[in-house]
Each structure stands twice: as structure tokens, then as C-alpha cells.
Structure 1
Amino acid sequence: MNNLMPTGFHAMVASPHYLATQIGSRILQQGGNAYDAAVAISAALAVVYPHMTGLGGDAFFLMYDARSKKVEALNGSGRAAGQATPEAFRKRGLQAIPHRGVLSAITVPGMVDAWWEVSSKRGRLPWEQLLSPALQFAENGFPISRDLAVWMVRDEPLLRRSVSMARTFLHQGRLKRQGERLTQPELAATLRILQTDGRDAFYNGRLMHSITTSMAHDGGLLTEDDFRAHRSDWVEPISTTYRGNVIYQLPPNSQGFSALMMMNMLERLNVSKLERHSAEFYHCMTEVVKKAFADRDCYLSDPAFVSIPLERLLSKAYASHLLNCIKLQPPHAGQHCSSASGQDTAYAAVRDEEGNAVSFIQSLYFDFGSAYMPGTSGMILQNRGSYFSMDSYHPNRLEPGKRTFHTLMPGMITREGKPFLLMGTQGGEGQPQTQLSIMTGVLDYGCSIQEAIALPRWVYGRTWGEDSDKLRIENRGLDTEAQRLKLWGHDVELLPSWSGVAGQAQGIMIGEQGLLSGAADPRGDGMAIGW
């Protein structure tokens, strides 16, 4: 299952779909920089990975600018509709926000505006050129990948319930299969307008009018005013240190700070002394995750609406306090019940010859998002807003104009002021945990980026429909270790050795003398290209 790890000294691209990676490589070879390549990859993924991402979703970008030698971040997540209130749902006889359908699509899609911001402020190729490959894939088609085919089968009832989605993913009444050509002419028409008219078509023009008119007809809450008010935000990244390295994440509403809290706790331990495949290792990681998740679930929301004590949460002193509360010797599982979350995401990374680096991630939240396509847009809207709470005392309570708790979190590590590691992964609860696995694999166990991504993973948390948390571990001869973990109080479930539940990660490492190494997850359809 281990992929070839390409190396080079000039540039590197890694994404969860081989076609998107090829597009990024082509953009760089056409004279584009890492920012151009990132936008082109993101747009391509919105076409070839429609179960994970799309124009109707959000995106977050973490970037290193080689000229200024600074790490910067862009929050491209959308805000709740002005009409999105608990009362609006209760009037419809609902006690919770639906997970699917037009009423789950209550946040403005932020990704298109994020593309525009990155392209206009940091790119150098024309906007039209960056969207051209995605348009060609939508218009001329591409082979359905393994992962897309798996999710189409899994979600076949969902696809059949929607006329427009059935029109896209079915042929003569049957589901299209892996390797068959998938064309999306309606999405192509949307992309062509976007290519010609720019982001204003989406937030203040004919695409916006078409989307909101269709949503109003179908009972949705997003209006023209919501789209016109949308903007991405350039934000200051948050960071912590770990064994001489600096780890960067986006600030809330991203859950990125939870990974920084975990690494602060682990820095106080001699992690490399724990055998990587031992019960002791998985116990330690799981307990660290629980402590960080408890604070994440207590505070994470939109900082424009809720006060989040980041300075305290990210302090080394607080990490020591949390670590002292963990029962490592003798091992005993602590109690925590996480909130169930979606896990369907696409992460990619680019580093160009000038030294610019982009770590970015995008999503529709659930697989196929809201499963709602407005009109003939060919675009699936995200259901990210369904994660809001109807509880008026909850930090993530639903309020108009608010950004919800967001699982998306692209990561970057610098060494001596320059990018050393770009990493991220698919998954909801799994994102900080897989980053934890990758970071400790590289920084504590001396793995290459490909080796770190290939390590057996764990995912602690709860998925929809479950009443309790589980500790899921990819089983690579770990039956005995699983039994030990159960004796210590963990609810363990062994997964297949290379499980989709563990997500799909990508990464780029920049080593000594500028050697670039790239890796795509063997659990997915991705590829890394470097030269």
C-alpha cells in the first residue's frame, strides 16, 4: 500500500486526486506560483471529488510567503443566513437543524471568494487560466475514481432522491461505476460564468441570483443579502513550539488550536520512548486528544460572537496541568463524550521553486454535503451549518451571520523560519488526530513524510448515530494491543489495515539542502508530483 515518494529540489504538489495534482504541476510549469497552483487544484477538486468538496463549500488556506518570510492565513468559511434562527426551524416543526436538504444549507459557500482572494493578492496567472482545467473536467468528463465510486454506492439512496443529483450520477437508471466517464454539464456552465465574470458572479451577480431564487422556491433560508455580505478574512495564524519547531494552525472558528494543545502536552513527554505500535502509545495519544477535545467542545465557535481564551489554552503551563490529569501509569481511560461530526474533506499542499508554500483544505462537510443542488447550477451546497446547536446556552448556538465550529484545519511546521512540513487530512474528529500521528511520526520517530502518512492510525470519537465514543485503530497485527487497551477502559474497534475511516492525508516535507519530499495517502486516490 505504500506509494512512491517523489523527491526534488524545485517544486512539489500533493493532493487527494491524481488529476488535481497533475493540474497543480501543470500550472507551476506554465509559470504560476504556489498560490496559482493551489487555486487551480482546489477548483479541480471541486469537480473530480464532488463527494468531498465543491463550489458550494468552504476552504481554509495557510500560506508561507517567500518574499516577506511570513506565514499568513485565509479563513474562507461562510456565515449563517440572516434568517437562520432557532425560531425559524421551530416554526417549521423542527427541533434540530436537518442534516440534509435545503434547510441544512444555511451558511454561505465561502470557497469561491477564497480562491479570488488568494489569486488576486498572491497569484500571478490570469483567473481564467486557473479555472480552465476544472471547467474542462466538468465539460468533457473524467474517470470516476475508486473513492468516488465507493461513496456513490454508499449514498445511492441519497443520490436517487434528488432529481438533479440523479441526473449527474446515474445513467439510464443505474449508478455510474468506477472508471466510467462522469460529465457535469450544468456545473461546467456555472464554472464558465465564474471564469468570465469572476467572484462577483457568485456573490453579487447572475449565479447568486439563480442560486438564491432556487433556494427561495425550495424553502431555503439563504438570501441575496447573505451572499452580498460574504467575505473571506485574512487572519493571523496561531502557533506553538515543539522541540525547536514552530507549528502553525488557523485560529477559531477552525479546530486547529486543539492540535496545538495536544502537541504542547506531548512535548512534556519522551514520546520516542513509546513503541509506536504499542498499547501505551495509543493510550497516551487518546488521552491527550480527550483533554484537548474537552476544551475545544467547550469553547470553539465564531470568535466574533464568543470569547475564546486562546492564550490560556495554548500556554505551556496549561498543557502541564492537563497532562497531570491524565492517567498514564497505571494506564486508565478517561471519560469524554465528543460531539458527532462529519468527516468528508479534501486536503492538498504546494511548494514552488521560489519557496512559497500553501497548505489548504476544503469541504462540503458530509459526503455530498446537503445533497441539495440549487436549480441547474450543478453545484452541491454544503451542510456545514447543520453543526450549529439549537441550545441557546451552547457556544456554537445558531445565530444569524455567525460562523460555525469548523473541523477544517490545514497545518504547517516551520524550522528556522522556513517551511519544513505541510500536512493535513480528510476527517472531522480525525483531522487533529491524524496530524498528531504525522507530526509525532516525523518529529519523534524520524519518519519520512510518506512513512508518517502510512503509519497505522487511530481515530477517537463518535460518528452519527452512536451513543458513545470509540477508539478505532487500523489493525496491522494489533489484536494483543487492542485487548490491553480494552483492559484499561477503552472502547476499542479494530479497523481494516488501510481503512477509509482513518481519512486521506497528504504532505510535503522540505529537508536539508532544500530537498522536497511529497506524499499522498495510499488510502485514497491521490498522488504527489515533484521535480
Structure 2
Amino acid sequence: MRDFQLPGRSPAMAMNGMAATHNPHAARVAIEVLQSGGAAIDAAVAAAAVLAVVEPQQTGIGGDCFVIMAKNGTDQIVAYNGSGRAPSGLPSDELAVGQGQLEDSSPHAVTIPGAIDAWTRLVADHGRKEIGELLAPAIAFARDGFPVHPRVAEDWALEEPRLRRDPNATRVFLPRGRAARAGEVFRNPGLADALSLIAAKGRDGFYKGPVAQDIVSYLRSLGGHHTLEDFEIAAGEYVEPVRTDYRGMEVCQIPPNNQGITALLMLNILEGFDLAALEPMSAERLHLEIEAGRLAYRDRDAFVCDTRHAAFPVNEILSKDYAARLRNEIRRDRVAEHLPPPLMRKSDTVYLTVVDRDRNCVSFINSVYWGFGSTRVAPTYGITLQNRGMGFSLDPTHPNAIGPGKRPLHTIMPGLAMKDGRPFLCYGVMGGDYQPFGHTHVLTGVVDFGLDPQEAIDQPRVFHSLGETQVERGVPIGTVEGLRKLGHRIVQPIEPLGGGQMIKIDWSEGVLIGGSDPRMDGCALGY
């Protein structure tokens, strides 16, 4: 229960529809789409397009997208993998040379963007509006400008040195000779032109014609192997979610090449502990979360890959017997010392969730990976290109080895939890490598500790990475000392750990309850 004498905010509550995003412009646009008769996926795509303009460091049409939907409040689940592939001509024999990852601004790290394919396909299959109408607000923001919000400005400034490496990025995203500051108005007319072409021509406005030509010619000038045919044949696909049961709920994630299975394995391990008997912010609870994460990440780094090119032991990893064996490796009185650190790093992403009047529930995530992606920007259309190829392994014997036409291990993951055959929680937590930890932290906050969505998202966070336990400033001092006594090497992260949104459905009252992360600029809104 929230202490009203302390900083914080109440969850949003509504009966007809709700959207939770981490920028108020996007939340408002999503609600307007719902009120005008749009379905949840219409509102989600309109909001994602706005975010691609107003949060350019986090997302964009040069990135990827994953979506999980529950149709009409039923157990009919739709999941879409909108991640792009490496170019078909990528010379993997030259790049797969051992350990490490591709350089962040290398053209070889730029995979074919999958977001626009996902947006247009999902709206056509499950929406009620035309893509042109849904992109109109984003086009207006790109052409007319928008005031930069504080968290966006902070992230923008951190990426300024990387932006200066590319002349197009410098021209488009440092127009005053520096990063945009909070309250300043920013415009990207080239992006408005690209979005207008997509509004008029659908996916062909991006994957064929001048936009694709602009992107391909620039990447090839940098030594990339991208072709117009790579863009023409780019397509996502509907997939069957991976699932597990956690305390009577069915928790759904996107299957590999997505890392969502990591969160499911964490939940399976933690299910064997009586978390509800612990204090939510106790060292005991956070220690178990950390150790479960370290075990799950070990398997992620060993196995998650594009399953069209390598085998993945999904049934074994999600079996309760396997989780029990891993659970036995956890000591409640000290840190395990035999586990490797996770391989990935922080990324920049936007997660949003929308529920409409008919209880269509959308869990939606979009990203360009690192801040401003590769910082390679299409010269005419101001499109930031993602660097998802960094998710590949450079070890040619690894299941996730880099290769032509392959999808890399992908960090961004939308979550959905079902209860009694109906959607219960739509949720997601951004933050690259942190995301499985974040999903587990907020979900167990609701299920094991009875927190509402806003309380669960507000809770301070920890994350184990590279042999260190990152602890946000909000974690109680006594808890920090308790973790230190258990053997955790405590450090304070430079930036907050991720950001998230959540909508909970109270079926008995017919009420939607939403939360949005104070670590970002956004909000949950309903009507």
C-alpha cells in the first residue's frame, strides 16, 4: 500500500480503455485512437510511431519490433516476431573470428529493420484503421517539432560523442551543435517525409523505393553488404509464444531468437522459494532474484539463437525438473562463484501496452538497440539505423554465430500473463540485458507481494552484470549491507535500471489499472 506522505503516484484507473507509454505525447495519441474507435493494436502502432519521433535515442523506424496480443479478453494469443535479419550477402567467414561482438557503428551491425513490416502487418490483420491515419500524429511531430522531455534530453547528451562520428547523425540530431536540451523544440523533416511515404504506400513506402534506396546506398558506401532485395523480401512472422506456469498464471514470451525465455526460466527457479514470506525489498528476496538470473542468463548466452539455423532445447529449459536442478545450485547464505557474467549490454528501447474496450490486450516493444542505434543515419530521410547485429556471437561454432540471413539474439521482450484463461497483466521492462530481471521483478512484485502495477514498477531495482551487483539508490541501506554480507560486490549504476509499463485487468470490477515508470517521462492514461 502506497504511503501518501512519500513521493510517488497512484496507478491510473479506467473502465473503457488504457495506454501506458513512457512519453505523454504517445499515451495521449493512443487514447485518442481508442476513443475514435480504433482497436488496441491501432493505438499501439500510433503510439510507437510517435515514440519513434519524440524519443529518437530509444527507438525508430530503422529498428525492430515484437508484439504479444490477447484477442477480445480470451486465451487466443497472437505473437509476432518483427526482428530483422543480417544481409544475405554478409561475409560471415570474415566476421566470425572468435570472441567479442561487432563494433557498435559498423555497417555489418545494421540488420534489416523489421518494425514497419510488423506495424503494417498487425494493423492490416487485427486493426480497424488505416496505417496512414495512425501515422498522422507522428508525421506532425516530426515536421512541426516537439519539446524534448527531461529523460530524453539526458540520454541524448550521453550519446553526443557517438553521434559526432557520423556526419548525417551530427547534422540531424545535433542541429545546434550539441544535443537537444529539455524544453527545446526538435524537428526531423526528413523523417516526416519517410513516414508520409509509409502512410501513403504502406510497407512498400519503406522497403521499396526512395527510402530503401537512401538506406542501402548509404550503408554500402560504408562497406555494408545490404541490397534492395534484402529490403524487398524482409518480413516478420507470427510465432507460437513460449510459456510457463507461475503460481497459477500462464506467463507468455516471444520464443528465441528473443531472450524472453530467460525470464520464464527465472520464474521457474524462483517458484520453489516462498517469496511472499520475505519482505519485498529485503536482501533475501533480491539475492534469490539475482542468483536465479545468473543461472538463467548462463543458459541464454549458451543457447538462444535463430532457431531456423540452429537447434534450441526449449522443452528442456522450460521443464520444472530442470528448474529444480538449477535451484539446487543457489545458496541462500552466499553468492555462487562459478557462474559467468551475461554477455549483453544496456540498450535503448520503448515498451508500451494498450487495452481497448473489447479487452484486446497489446504488449508492444520497439527498439534501435543502443542509444541512437548504430548512429548511422540515412542522409535524406533522417532514419536512425539499428545495430542489432551486435547480438550475434563472433564464434563460428556458437548457435548464435553471425551469418547471412540470420536473426541475432534479441533483447527486447514484451510480456503477457494469463489467469483463468483470460489476460491478467500486460507488462514489459526495457533496458537491454536487464529485461529478464525487470520482467521477473515487476511480475513477482504483483503476484507474490500484492503490489499494484505502479508500486511494482516504482520498486527499486538491482542487477548482476560483469561480476558486480548494480543497486539503484532507492534500495534501503540495510538491504545493501545485507547483499554485501552475502558476497555481492555492490556498485551504483550510472543510469536507472530500465523503464517499464504495466496494465492489470480486474475482471470482477471491469477496471483497468495501469502504471508507468518514473525513471522515464511517460504515464498511464485511461478513459
TM-score by length of 1: 0.94
Tell me which residue corresponds to 1:38.
Answer: 44
TM-score by length of 2: 0.95
Say whether 1:527 aligns with 2:520. Answer: no
| Residues 94, 381 of structure 1: alpha-carbon distance in 2 compared, 3 angstrom cutoff | farther
**Offset of 1:181 from its aligned partner?**
0.6
**Offset of 1:329 from its aligned partner?**
4.5
Match for 1:278 among 269, 282, 307? 282
CA contact (8 A) 1:3 1:520 kept: no
**Offset of 1:13 from its aligned partner?**
0.3
CA distance in 1, matches of 2:496, 2:103: 20
**Offset of 1:274 from its aligned partner?**
1.7
Say whether 1:450 aligns with 2:446. Answer: no
RMSD (CA atoms): 1.9
SS of the counterpart of 1:131?
A: helix
**Offset of 1:16 from its aligned partner?**
1.0
Question: CA offsets per residue over residues 60-91 of structure 1, 9 Å max, x none?
Answer: 0000111764011000000111122333448x
**Offset of 1:32 from its aligned partner?**
0.3
Say whether 1:83 aligns with 2:89. Answer: yes
CA contact (8 A) 1:18 1:527 kept: yes
SS of the counterpart of 2:181?
A: coil
Matches for 1:288-307 after TM superposition, within 5 Å: 288-307=292-311
Tell me which residue corresponds to 2:502.
Answer: 507
Matches for 1:84-163 after TM superposition, within 5 Å: 84-89=90-95, 98-163=102-167
Tell me which residue corresponds to 1:516.
Answer: 512
CA contact (8 A) 1:10 1:530 kept: yes
Match for 2:490 among 489, 492, 497? 492
Tell me which residue corresponds to 1:471.
Answer: 469
SS of the counterpart of 2:378?
A: coil
**Offset of 1:246 from its aligned partner?**
0.9
Of 324-333 and 444-453, the range deviating more from structure 2: 324-333
**Offset of 1:243 from its aligned partner?**
1.2
**Offset of 1:314 from its aligned partner?**
0.5
CA distance in 2, matches of 1:65, 1:118: 13
**Offset of 1:198 from its aligned partner?**
1.0
Match for 1:324 among 309, 328, 339? 328
CA contact (8 A) 1:106 1:221 kept: no
CA contact (8 A) 1:424 1:435 kept: yes
Gaps of 5+ in 1: 462-467
Matches for 1:176-191 after TM superposition, within 5 Å: 176-191=180-195
CA contact (8 A) 2:416 2:427 kept: yes
Tell me which residue corresponds to 1:269.
Answer: 273
CA distance in 2, matches of 1:224, 1:94: 30
CA distance in 1, matches of 2:301, 2:311: 13
**Offset of 1:333 from its aligned partner?**
5.4
SS of the counterpart of 1:36?
A: helix
Tell me which residue corresponds to 1:28.
Answer: 34
**Offset of 1:168 from its aligned partner?**
2.2
| Matching residue's letter, 2:501 | Q
SS of the counterpart of 1:397?
A: coil
| Matching residue's letter, 2:86 | A
**Offset of 1:280 from its aligned partner?**
1.2
Tell me which residue corresponds to 2:3.
Answer: none
Tell me which residue corresponds to 1:483.
Answer: 481
Tell me which residue corresponds to 2:385.
Answer: 381
SS of the counterpart of 2:352?
A: strand
Of 445-454 and 258-267, the range deviating more from structure 2: 258-267
Of 98-107 and 279-288, the range deviating more from structure 2: 98-107
CA contact (8 A) 2:14 2:512 kept: yes
**Offset of 1:166 from its aligned partner?**
2.1
CA distance in 2, matches of 1:51, 1:460: 25
Identity %: 38
CA contact (8 A) 1:372 1:381 kept: yes
CA distance in 1, matches of 2:100, 2:495: 29
| Residues 97, 258 of structure 1: alpha-carbon distance in 2 compared, 3 angstrom cutoff | closer
CA contact (8 A) 2:219 2:226 kept: yes
Question: CA offsets per residue over residues 210-254 of structure 1, 9 Å max, x none?
Answer: 221222223222111211221111001111111111111111111
Tell me which residue corresponds to 2:4.
Answer: none
CA distance in 2, matches of 1:271, 1:78: 38
**Offset of 1:126 from its aligned partner?**
1.3
**Offset of 1:104 from its aligned partner?**
4.2
CA distance in 2, matches of 1:121, 1:424: 23
Matches for 1:360-375 after TM superposition, within 5 Å: 360-375=364-379
**Offset of 1:513 from its aligned partner?**
2.0
| Residues 144, 321 of structure 1: alpha-carbon distance in 2 compared, 3 angstrom cutoff | same
CA contact (8 A) 1:52 1:363 kept: yes
**Offset of 1:102 from its aligned partner?**
4.7
Of 125-134 and 198-207, the range deviating more from structure 2: 198-207
Question: CA offsets per residue over residues 287-336 of structure 1, 9 Å max, x none?
Answer: 11111111111100101011111111101111111111211246655532
Tell me which residue corresponds to 1:62.
Answer: 68
Match for 1:209 among 213, 216, 226? 213
CA contact (8 A) 1:59 1:114 kept: yes
CA contact (8 A) 2:15 2:512 kept: yes
CA distance in 1, matches of 2:520, 2:110: 30
| Residues 205, 169 of structure 1: alpha-carbon distance in 2 compared, 3 angstrom cutoff | closer
SS of the counterpart of 1:502?
A: coil
CA distance in 2, matches of 1:267, 1:174: 49
CA distance in 1, matches of 2:336, 2:128: 54
| Residues 94, 194 of structure 1: alpha-carbon distance in 2 compared, 3 angstrom cutoff | farther
CA contact (8 A) 1:62 1:411 kept: yes
| Residues 283, 172 of structure 1: alpha-carbon distance in 2 compared, 3 angstrom cutoff | closer
| Matching residue's letter, 2:34 | L
Tell me which residue corresponds to 1:233.
Answer: 237
Question: CA offsets per residue over residues 390-447 of structure 1, 9 Å max, x none?
Answer: 2111221101110000011100111111111111011112111111111111000000
CA contact (8 A) 1:345 1:425 kept: no
CA distance in 2, matches of 1:368, 1:79: 19
Question: CA offsets per residue over residues 484-515 of structure 1, 9 Å max, x none?
Answer: 322322221145xxx74311111101113221
**Offset of 1:459 from its aligned partner?**
1.5
Matches for 1:339-418 after TM superposition, within 5 Å: 339-418=343-422
Equivalent residue pairs, number: 520
| Residues 99, 17 of structure 1: alpha-carbon distance in 2 compared, 3 angstrom cutoff | farther
CA distance in 2, matches of 1:97, 1:325: 30
CA distance in 2, matches of 1:171, 1:297: 40
| Residues 131, 147 of structure 1: alpha-carbon distance in 2 compared, 3 angstrom cutoff | same
SS of the counterpart of 2:281?
A: coil
CA distance in 1, matches of 2:475, 2:458: 15
Of 320-329 and 247-256, the range deviating more from structure 2: 320-329
| Matching residue's letter, 2:525 | I
**Offset of 1:172 from its aligned partner?**
4.1
CA contact (8 A) 2:102 2:109 kept: no
| Residues 298, 146 of structure 1: alpha-carbon distance in 2 compared, 3 angstrom cutoff | same
CA contact (8 A) 1:255 1:405 kept: yes
Say whether 1:192 aligns with 2:196. Answer: yes
